């Protein structure tokens, strides 16, 4: 039996036309508010419950466009399923909590190549993947193996937080990360991983058991980012063969240098509480105070400004219409927003559930807002899918606190957006943005699984601390980046920049303590000067088809090479200090492979340079 597996989630969540339907009904008056239902001023209600006021005004077209622009997530397993024969997976597939996917012996599962590198918050890899937050049971001993492969590189199998994956007699070939296990249980017996980038990636909270597992021909066999290696033994039951770069890489053990304290939030005045049930519209300037509970979507129209007074709590009840495990509560801002917390009285956006979890609500979303003064000050965001989101809108976030979100901040086509002096801790991803001019200055990013992803941006990333990033550090593609005065420590990798037309000025930074590379440049022009690079499991600086000028840096603690050249052009690396080692012994270039260019390192500095970089004890 051969079939294609392209599941369709419920219409209103997945299909743009379905999302447009409620707004189209407005044209016929179905959801028009009753006369006099509009509030005359900001809420000061006590114990109020407001239901479904939907304003039918000139912003309707904006809502229609919003529906068309809403990203479509991958497929969602709608019920328990069993696969056999030949199965083709056309797009990312999620096994949500409470669902089980069983794959019988002898099945061949082929993944289509992803049409783009865009990754929705619930997924993990740019390639097409199978993500499991429920249960995945594959194969049986003594039977024909189950085979996973792809048309080209594919994402892999992800055991996501709360999931359980059992693989018996399975072959995985050509994946970017054949198995990523994070916050989940994984039991592998008689499993062979062939080729691809990474065989096994063990993230924070992974419970991993292996018997007769072989990783062969991948670039890296095992990346272990489970936590402090001193308290966790290396994975057993795994054989590593013919690996291009490394067998086992581990995120180094190192104590935190930064320990931010979560803001203290006082209980709101019991006399100021309101709950919105269903759709509600802010049709004119309005101020919220006390505690506001949302059980649907609230929309701020283009002519209106919503102000949140110090100490206001906005809590979202979880509503999951398509069974993907994610909440859909949203504050949609087409007009303006002023979130005006104070140091001792922040504004809070968070889950209203008794046992809150990341992804309980969707986002505060600024869409096509022409207000130049959108501002979030001393504001706490917890438990969101994309907690703070903007599209074609400018905003400034200062002194904010983001924790336990899938994505803390995401925006696109939002020129002049700024994030300053804010703390990001314990998010799946801290910052993700594209096609924007951005300033990120003076922030602390701590123990997020992924740090920063920038695409086609002009970015000033200055005076930030990035520490403890287990699954992915700073990545910029097709961008101009000024990366200055930052301290990036302890994680999977440090700073990666790639793609044609990219340029970077990397000055005065401290980078160290990585499982892989500290700095990776592919097709990037610019300069790397006055930095201290100290500690990498592979290379301190990796350069591919690029010609940056590298000078005045202190280079020490390379696991493999201080500078690894991967292209035919020569590289100017004169005037650096090589940590007391012979530069020739820690450089990979034409001397090692005649098809490569030469690293020009003479003259070298005899003593470490005096650098203006952040100290480890910040």
Give residue-wise pLDDT tens across range 241-261. 999 999 999 987 666 666 666
Say what the pTM is: 0.88
H-helix or E-strand containing 19? Answer: helix 16-26
How far apart are the C-alpha atoms of 582 and 586, rounded to whole Å? Answer: 7
The token duo for 556 is: 């020490």
pLDDT at residue 210 above 70? yes
pLDDT at residue 24 above 90? no
pLDDT at residue 187 above 70? yes
* Residue 2 banded pLDDT, cuts 50, 70, 90: very low
The arithmetic mean of pLDDT across residues 133-139, rounded, is 97
The arithmetic mean of pLDDT across residues 31-48, rounded, is 35
Q: Are 199 and 210 in contact (CB under 8 A)?
A: no
* Residue 117 banded pLDDT, cuts 50, 70, 90: confident
* pLDDT score, position 546: 86
DSSP letter for 24, please.
H
User: Which residues lie closer than 8 Å to 447 by C-beta, 6 or more apart?
Assistant: 425, 426, 467, 468, 469, 470
* pLDDT score, position 414: 93
How far apart are the C-alpha atoms of 130 and 116, rounded to whole Å? Answer: 16
Phi, psi of 435, deg, nearest 5: 50, 50
* pLDDT score, position 278: 80
* pLDDT score, position 33: 35
The arithmetic mean of pLDDT across residues 115-136, rounded, is 92
Per-residue pLDDT of 477-513, as tens digits, reads 999 999 999 999 999 999 999 988 899 999 999 999 9
Phi, psi of 14, deg, nearest 5: -95, -45
* Residue 275 banded pLDDT, cuts 50, 70, 90: confident
pLDDT at residue 331 above 50? yes
pLDDT at residue 531 above 60? yes
* pLDDT score, position 64: 41
* Residue 234 banded pLDDT, cuts 50, 70, 90: confident
* pLDDT score, position 208: 95
* pLDDT score, position 32: 34
pLDDT at residue 560 above 70? yes
Please tell me which of 247-256, 446-455, 607-616 the model is most confident about, judged by mean pLDDT: 446-455
* Average pLDDT over all residues of the chain: 86
The token duo for 213 is: 């597992």
* Residue 523 banded pLDDT, cuts 50, 70, 90: very high
Domains of the chain and any CATH numbers? 46-54+272-414 (no CATH), 74-250 (2.160.20), 427-618 (2.160.20.10)
Going through 77-124 in order, the beta strands assigned E by DSSP cover 81-83, 86-89, 93-95, 100-103, 108-111
- The b-or-e profile of 251-267 (16+ CB within 10 A means b, else e) is bbeeeebbeeeebebee
Phi, psi of 11, deg, nearest 5: -55, -45
Q: Are 351 and 318 in contact (CB under 8 A)?
A: yes
pLDDT at residue 78 above 50? yes
**Residues of the chain above pLDDT 90, percent:** 76
pLDDT at residue 48 above 50? no
pLDDT at residue 575 above 60? yes
* pLDDT score, position 19: 37
* pLDDT score, position 254: 65
Q: Which residues are bridge partners to 89 per DSSP? A: 5, 111
* pLDDT score, position 255: 64
The token duo for 209 is: 């058991």
Residue predicted with more confidence, 527 or 31: 527
pLDDT at residue 333 above 50? yes
Neighbouring CB atoms inside 10 A of 500's CB total 11
pLDDT at residue 39 above 60? no
* Residue 60 banded pLDDT, cuts 50, 70, 90: very low
H-helix or E-strand containing 13? Answer: helix 11-14
* pLDDT score, position 613: 60
Q: Which residues are bridge partners to 444 per DSSP? A: 423, 465
Q: Is 595 left (phi over 0), alpha (psi -120 to 50) or beta?
A: alpha
* pLDDT score, position 30: 32
The Cα diameter of the chain in Å comes to: 82
Per-residue pLDDT of 350-395, as tens digits, reads 999 999 999 999 999 999 999 999 999 999 999 999 999 999 999 9
Q: Degrees (nearest 5) of the Cα angle 52, 55, 59?
A: 135
* pLDDT score, position 547: 86
Neighbouring CB atoms inside 10 A of 363's CB total 27
* pLDDT score, position 267: 63
Q: Are 233 and 209 in contact (CB under 8 A)?
A: no
């Amino acid at each position: 039996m051969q079939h294609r597996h392209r599941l369709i989630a419920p219409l209103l969540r997945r299909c743009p036309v379905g999302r447009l339907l409620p707004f189209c009904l407005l044209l016929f008056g179905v959801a028009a508010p009753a006369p006099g239902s509009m509030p005359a001023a900001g809420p000061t209600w006590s114990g109020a419950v407001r239901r479904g006021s939907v304003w039918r005004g000139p912003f309707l077209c904006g809502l229609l466009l919003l529906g068309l622009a809403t990203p479509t997530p991958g497929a969602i397993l709608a019920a328990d399923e069993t696969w056999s024969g030949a199965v083709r997976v056309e797009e990312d597939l999620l096994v949500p909590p409470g669902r089980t996917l069983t794959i019988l012996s002898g099945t061949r599962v082929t993944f289509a190549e992803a049409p783009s590198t865009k990754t929705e918050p619930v997924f993990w890899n740019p390639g097409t993947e199978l993500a499991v937050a429920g249960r995945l049971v594959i194969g049986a001993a003594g039977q024909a193996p189950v085979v996973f492969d792809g048309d080209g590189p594919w994402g892999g199998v992800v055991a996501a937080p709360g999931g359980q994956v059992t693989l018996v007699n399975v072959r995985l070939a050509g994946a970017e990360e054949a198995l990523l296990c994070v916050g989940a249980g994984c039991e592998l017996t008689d499993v062979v991983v062939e080729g691809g980038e990474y065989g096994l990636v063990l993230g924070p909270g992974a419970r991993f058991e292996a018997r007769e597992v072989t990783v062969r021909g991948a670039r890296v066999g095992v990346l272990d980012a489970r936590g402090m290696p001193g308290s966790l033994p290396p994975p057993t039951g795994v054989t590593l063969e013919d690996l291009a770069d490394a067998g086992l890489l581990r995120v180094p053990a190192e104590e935190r240098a930064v320990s931010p304290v979560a803001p203290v939030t006082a209980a709101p005045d019991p006399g100021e509480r309101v709950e919105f049930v269903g759709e509600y519209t802010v049709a004119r300037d309005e101020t919220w105070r006390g505690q506001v509970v949302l059980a649907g979507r609230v929309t701020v129209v283009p002519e209106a400004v919503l102000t949140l007074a110090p100490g206001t709590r906005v809590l979202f009840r979880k509503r999951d219409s398509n069974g993907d495990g994610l909440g859909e509560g949203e504050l949609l801002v087409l007009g303006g927003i002023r979130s005006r917390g104070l140091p001792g009285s922040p504004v809070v956006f968070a889950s209203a559930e008794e046992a809150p979890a990341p992804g309980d609500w969707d986002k505060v979303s600024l869409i096509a807002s022409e207000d130049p003064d959108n501002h979030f000050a001393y504001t706490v965001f917890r438990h969101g899918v994309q907690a703070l989101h903007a599209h074609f809108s400018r905003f400034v976030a200062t002194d904010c606190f983001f924790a336990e979100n899938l994505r803390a901040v995401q925006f696109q086509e939002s020129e002049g957006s700024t994030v300053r002096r804010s703390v990001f801790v314990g998010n799946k991803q801290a910052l993700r943005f594209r096609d924007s001019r951005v300033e990120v200055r003076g922030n602390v990013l701590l123990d997020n699984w992924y740090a920063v992803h920038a695409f086609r941006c002009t970015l000033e990333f200055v005076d930030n601390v990035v520490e403890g990033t287990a699954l992915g550090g700073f990545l910029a593609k097709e961008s101009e980046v000024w990366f200055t005065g930052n301290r990036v420590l302890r994680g999977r990798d440090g700073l990666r920049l790639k793609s044609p037309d990219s340029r970077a000025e990397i000055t005065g930074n401290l980078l160290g303590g990585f499982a892989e590379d500290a700095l990776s440049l592919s097709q990037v022009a610019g300069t790397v000067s006055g930095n201290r690079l100290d500690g990498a499991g592979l290379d301190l600086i990796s350069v591919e088809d690029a010609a940056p000028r590298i000078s005045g840096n202190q280079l020490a603690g390379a696991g493999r090479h201080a500078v690894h050249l991967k292209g035919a052009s020569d590289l100017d690396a004169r005037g650096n200090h090589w940590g007391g080692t012979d530069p020739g012994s820690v450089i990979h270039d034409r001397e090692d492979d005649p098809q490569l260019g030469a690293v020009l390192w003479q003259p070298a500095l005899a003593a470490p340079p005096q650098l203006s970089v952040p100290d480890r004890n910040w």
